[in-house]
A and B are shown apart, each in its own frame.
Chain A
Amino acid sequence: MRAEVAKVRYLPMPRWTAAALAAITLVVGVVLVILEPSDPTRYISVPGTAVSVSAWVATLIFGVWLSTLDFASGTMQRTLTAEPRRTHVLSSKLVVTLVIAAIAGLAAAAAAGGLSHLAARQAGVDLDSGDLAATLFGQVPEAILASAIGFGFGLLSRSVGGGIALGIVFILVFDGFISYIPGLEHFTYGALTQDLSNGITGTGETHNGLVVALLGSIAWCALIIAPGWIRYLRSDLK
């Protein structure tokens, strides 16, 4: 675990991703301060969408990056000589990925919420703090799951570009196809993660209960992670 934490700490990519996420959050907050919309829902929906999309993209990329790092940089030998138990290597990477994604999602939600609140107060708009918090923090589970999806596709493709491309195609295209299969429309990855967020925050319409949504989302992640994981454990590595 220490090794993966050290990589996150000393390598620049996580810092740049965090900086981009922080910049997007800040820009949205500044835009709200400048435009001063009179509709209170804007102070919730705009940062909500921004955090949702940016955290999703950032954590997906981070998941791909950490799972492909040793393949891309030719450092597999140093990772596996330090920890030859491959299951431990992957478990450590996955845990670090999920924890970092959770921290990033929470930090982005907290920062966006704070800025939105500030902007609303400056504009003299009365804001429902509960709604704002539910909307923003409701994105965190999706961010965590996106990191797992990125991790899985990264492990499968063993390349950053391939992992990101597969992740985006899965979410934006493949998931859509599944929704056309009769009986599965409420069990797509998108539907289940949406239900999970809504279930946690108690907002929006849900088709599945919280437990089903949670287990279903985890099942999707496991399905995506498993092939690359098995390949990593069984194959010769350089």
Chain B
Amino acid sequence: MFDGMSTPGADTPPIEFDGLVKRFGRRTVLNGLSFTVPAGTVVGLLGPNGAGKSTAMRVLLGLQRPTDGHARILGHDAGSPGFRDVTRKVGTIIESPPLYKNASALQNLRIRAASIDVSMRDEDLKEILNRVGLAERADDQTGSFSLGMRQRAGIALALVGDPSIVVLDEPTNGLDPEGTVEVRDLVRSLPERGATTLLCTHRLAEVEATCDYVVLLQGGHLITQGSLADVIASASKGGVTVDVAPEQLADALRLIGRLGVGEPKIEDGSITTPMTPEDPSVITRALASEGIYLRGLQTRRATLEEAFLELTHRAETTEAVEA
């Protein structure tokens, strides 16, 4: 769970994984996965290939059956009474856009509307296509679409019926930079329309730009979860760059090495540390107490990519040690 987070007006989380286990034969793909997606947020589900992201989504939507544990949408497990009613409030793309290639984009949306028992006029469906930039291709067969256009059509499908939960797996696959920004803006706007979004992607820049919270999986385990800033901060990457007078460099290096910020190094005449102290002023004070004149101190914030690599590497190492 995301500590300290509240879901106003809703006791039941839109999406909840509770000790979910999924095995294919002897291979365990999900191993006790537990996390909750708070209402009205965009949550990024991250993990290396084979981490179990798509399987988690498939189990959530009832396409695959859990070996153990629960995956719930609005409090309902797949197969439980009422699950049908809640899945109709969910728009999804898992892996590839589920389009009938011999039908036009508009016909695909009409079929989707009929499937979820929603009566929508063509004008409303065209408005959805307009939101994803496909209004002018509404009557063209989706089989003639480029990968990016199919992706947009898939997102349009997911938006039919104004879903309260949107599950998107790699929604910007195949999109050009302009299309990526458009889809990113679209995803970012979903909470304003009251939709909770679970976004599964390998594009970490996309997560940084769109997600409020991040869930990181590896080997079917949850590695970490929390707000974007917390997850980045939980990785040991980052660090500080310290500038001192050249004749005091060696003394400063020795001193900083004792401050618990990792092994400092001299790079381009500056001292760099692999970690950032909780309070960077400890460096300032330590140097001042030894009479070392501080010319400059810069803290470097780790990127999500660095945090991702660090956290997944750390998890791998832990698993190897345990094994």
Contacts and interface: CB of A to CB of B under 8 A. Distances in A.
B84 A85 contact: yes
B103 A84 contact: no
B78 A84 contact: yes
A84 B80 CA distance: 10
A6 B98 contact: no
A3 interface: yes
A238 B54 CA distance: 10
B63 A76 contact: yes
Given A10-B103, A10-B107, A82 B87 contact: yes
A84 B102 contact: no
A79 B115 contact: yes
B112 interface: yes
A12 B142 CA distance: 13
Interface stretch (B89-97, B208-216, B240-248, B310-318): B89-97
B88 A82 contact: yes
A10 B107 CA distance: 6
Bin chain A's interface residue count. 20 to 34
A78 B157 CA distance: 9
A237 interface: yes
B58 A3 contact: no
B115 A83 contact: yes
Given A3-B111, A6-B110, A6-B115, A80 B61 contact: yes
Interface string A60-101: 000000000100011111111111110000000000000000
A5 interface: yes
Contact of B63 (A2, A7, A237): A237
Given A77-B98, A85-B84, A2 B114 contact: yes
Given A85-B84, A236-B58, A236-B64, A3 B100 contact: no
Contacts of B62: 80-81, 84
Given A10-B107, A10-B110, A75-B99, A82 B115 contact: yes
Contacts of B84: 83-85
Contacts of B116: 82
Nearest to B76: A84
B137 interface: no
A99 B12 CA distance: 42
Interface residues of B, number: 31
A75 B88 contact: no
B83 A84 contact: yes
A5 to B, nearest CB: 7
A167 B270 CA distance: 77
A30 interface: no
A78 B115 contact: yes
A181 interface: no
B290 interface: no
Contacts of B117: 2
A3 to B, nearest CB: 4
B61 A77 contact: yes
A10 B142 CA distance: 13
Contacts of B115: 2-3, 6, 78-79, 82-83
B203 interface: no
Nearest to A76: B63
A180 to B, nearest CB: 41
A76 B63 CA distance: 8
Contacts of B63: 76-77, 80, 236-238
A11 B64 CA distance: 27
B79 interface: yes
A168 interface: no
B114 A73 contact: no
A78 B98 contact: yes
Interface of B: 58, 61-65, 78-79, 83-84, 87-88, 90, 92, 94, 96, 98-103, 107, 110-112, 114-117, 157
Given A6-B111, A77-B98, A82-B87, 11 more contacts: A10-B100, A73-B101, A75-B98, A76-B63, A78-B92, A80-B61, A82-B116, A83-B84, A84-B62, A84-B78, A84-B83
18 contacts: A3-B111, A7-B100, A11-B107, A13-B102, A69-B100, A78-B98, A78-B112, A78-B115, A80-B62, A80-B63, A81-B61, A81-B87, A81-B92, A84-B78, A85-B84, A236-B64, A236-B65, A238-B63
The 6 A-B residue pairs with the shortest CB-CB distance, nearest first, are A82-B115, A6-B114, A3-B115, A236-B64, A10-B107, A78-B98
